[in-house]
Structure 1
């Protein structure tokens, strides 16, 4: 069987790679083609394009790169038409992937959407489109199943692949040994250039205020490493590429750009402050469209504020310093956060998302 996997960011690349390995265990003759990154490439799949070429978020970024994105859409459609996979697997990234889903449905390609787009947060009307163009929807957050059922669409909750990744994580002991006697603050500035750029100024302030701490900045290996260059001049800063879990495993606290990383940080038990800043146009549009009280997966899953969220104008060095001081010194705050993290594990359950998703995808492809 031939499988075509399409991802748009680091977390999708990671989960796509895990899914490929599980499909291989069921379908020994499987052939994989992908738009992905380094994780998927390591599985032996034929990566036709890197996901960084479509990794844009927000109205401003999309508008500036519209011509490029339209060209990539055309190229992706051509790849799918030439390969004619038995199953197209879309992972998150709705702006690009929903357009590809419409095309696949038009030419008769079966489509599975693994990791639902967050339409429950901002565009519930897309349920109707999903019904038309997606053959099977696999969700990774328990409340997503309830959301789709309310809209008369049956979906499968397969478990959460972040939990799989954490459970399978084996620490780099040599890396850990470098920092075992040091006080460490981890910074996860995001997987997009705009997110990293928004974080640099704040990070430069933090490393001066917390000069007794070592700062580990988790870099994304498919981004231009020049983005992190200004941080290298600080003696207490290490830019670490491709070792997110190792960075978190030695951290006393973390500053985390909103996204999947907030859940990864929670499951690794690290107290965190969640941050996010985007363009003014995107922010104002989001204020009008978003239907949710929080932006971090931690608070969304728990239905209450457990970790602080500093968004847009609130995301400045003074506020981050204050939140970090609380995380590092307030035992009651740390206890409350830890209890919330334990609750998240119970909510997510013990299902193996990658195995469950792989079985559903292979069965659908063979039917």
Structure 2
């Protein structure tokens, strides 16, 4: 039986880890999985030593609150490596923590595959050099990531981004409009404040303030907020009170909203790439604690924070950060796009080029095969 340790932190890492595990089981039915993750990995049969998905934080200082707990978990994982002797370890995102796991694995001479590796192209090449020194094999999802890690001496395979496999609609445009009683002639603006409560607390109010100002110019506008399954509806509805706008809060269907919308007000993160798959114009918003932001400015090595802009290496959609993330500025950027058909088309074309750079579909399958081959585990199934 092949033994695979999988370590993921946040909900997104749990999701990607579970998808890779599912593909690994197709390639070899005799596998034993254990490690750290959430409910999706547990559903795939992983023996979880700890579930950290409820501890998701944004920013350096916010993460420090859990540092003692993290070291206790590291010790637990180290003991599991010694006792259960996995053939290979799959690290999924959770970069700061997983860099330490990679160090432990290297000491024990256990091969590692890092999927959504530490963002060395954002925070500095030292991260890539450390992972190269620890002999972690990098399953690269971004073209700029592949370049930085290869230059640092790491073994890298560009697998492409898994969202190309994930972005699928459950309802057609007509079905979605009918289900949620939306007039097809309305201007549609999606509001996506993020999947963490911390993001919602920081971003929803300025988004709603911006929405209110936009509605003064477009009386027939319909705002739609697809509710992430990690966020309580009561939190959204309590914050939305007092804003006299035509807002629908719906459960799920974020891809349908991205596809349908004329424009998105969206939190910085992977959702911006998902929206790029539909070519939908957007205004990217980001806000964290002032100390975390200032520290980030000292460390970040790139001029943009939005993934579409980073991949394009230029600003193709506006970014509003920190003090600029307020209603008045959101409305101005939104209206500049909405009032210009030429600008909308330019953004759509640029976003298409961004998606082309993410490679071809099938990333998850390629990662699964890479993990098994790296661990010397037989690949005998048909994927």
The answer, yes or no, to whether TM exceeds 0.5 is yes
Mark the CA change 1:279 to 1:306 in structure 2 (over 3 Å): closer, same or farther.
same
For 1:337 and 1:360, locate their aligned partners in 2 and report how far apart those are by CA, in whole Å.
35
Query: 2:19 and 2:115 mapped to 1: Cα distance?
Result: 12
Q: Cα gap change, 1:350/1:111 in structure 2, threshold over 3 Å: closer, same or farther?
A: same
Contact 2:56 2:196 in 1 (8 A): yes
Aligned to 2:67: 66
Q: Which residue of 2 aligns with 1:230?
A: 238
Partner of 1:216: 224
- In 1, the alpha carbon distance for the partners of 2:72 and 2:226 equals 31
Aligned equivalents of 2:5, 2:53: Cα separation in 1: 17
Partner of 2:283: 273
72-81 vs 190-199, which moves further: 72-81
* Counterpart selection for 1:247 from 239, 257, 261: 257
User: TM-score, structure 1 length as denominator?
Assistant: 0.89
Q: Show CA shifts across 1:137-194 (max 9, x none).
A: 110111222222222333110111111212xx14234545324624322122123332
The alpha-carbon deviation at position 197 of structure 1 amounts to: 0.7
Map 1:19-58; keep pairs closer than 5 Å.
Answer: 19-58=20-59
Q: Deviations over 1:260-309 (max 9, x none)?
A: 11111111221111111111111111111111011111111111110001
Structure 1 Cα separation of the partners of residues 27 and 344 of structure 2: 43
Aligned counterpart, 2:346: 336
Question: Do 1:112 and 1:137's aligned partners in 2 also have CA atoms closer than 8 Å?
Answer: yes
Judge which range, 44-53 or 7-16, deviates more: 44-53
The whole-number CA distance in structure 2 between the counterparts of 1:321 and 1:82 is 57
Q: Which residue of 2 aligns with 1:187?
A: 191
| 8 A Cα contact 1:112 1:134, kept in partner | no
The Cα of 1:312 is off from its aligned counterpart by: 1.1
Q: Quick one: which of 278, 290, 293 aligns to 1:283?
A: 293
Q: How far apart, CA to CA, are the structure 2 residues paired with 1:98 and 1:232? A: 40
Once the 2 structures are TM-superposed, how far is the Cα of residue 226 of structure 1 from its aligned partner?
4.7
Deviates more, 1:253-262 or 1:78-87: 78-87
RMSD across aligned C-alpha pairs, in angstroms?
A: 2.5
Secondary structure in structure 2 of the residue aligned to 1:310:
strand
Q: Distance in 2 between matches of 1:191 and 1:13?
A: 14
Query: Which deviations, in whole Å up to 9, do the C-alpha atoms of 1:309-343 show, x marking residues without a partner?
Result: 11111111111111111232311111110110121
Unaligned runs of 5+ in 1: none
Task: Select between 62-71 and 191-200 the one with higher mean Cα deviation.
Answer: 62-71
Quick one: distance in 2 between partners of 1:244 and 1:14? 16
Match of 1:203 in 2: 207
Q: Which moved more, 1:68-77 or 1:306-315?
A: 68-77
SS state at 2:16 partner: helix
- Residues 110 and 229 (structure 1), Cα distance of their counterparts in 2 relative to 1, 3 Å cut: farther
* CA spacing shift, 1:99–1:223, aligned 2, 3 Å: farther
Q: Distance in 2 between matches of 1:215 and 1:72?
A: 42
Q: Which runs of 5+ in 2 are unaligned?
A: 378-383
Match of 2:303 in 1: 293
1:348 Cα deviation from its structure 2 partner:
2.1
2:381 equivalent in structure 1: none
1:154 and 1:73, CA in 2 relative to 1: closer, same or farther beyond 3 A?
closer
Residue of structure 2 equivalent to 1:131: 132
Whether the aligned pair in 2 keeps the contact of 1:176 and 1:246 (CA below 8 Å) is no
Structure with bigger gyration radius: 2
Indicate the SS of the match to 1:255.
Answer: strand
Q: CA deviation at 1:242?
A: 4.2
**Matched positions, count:** 365
Alignment of 1:11-22 (within 5 A): 11-22=12-23
Displacement of 1:66 in angstroms is: 2.9
Identify if the C-alpha distance between structure 1 residues 328 and 32 changes in structure 2 by more than 3 Å, giving closer, same or farther.
farther
Aligned CA distance change for structure 1 residues 69 and 180 (closer, same or farther; 3 Å): farther
1:217–1:238 CA contact under 8 A, matched in 2: yes
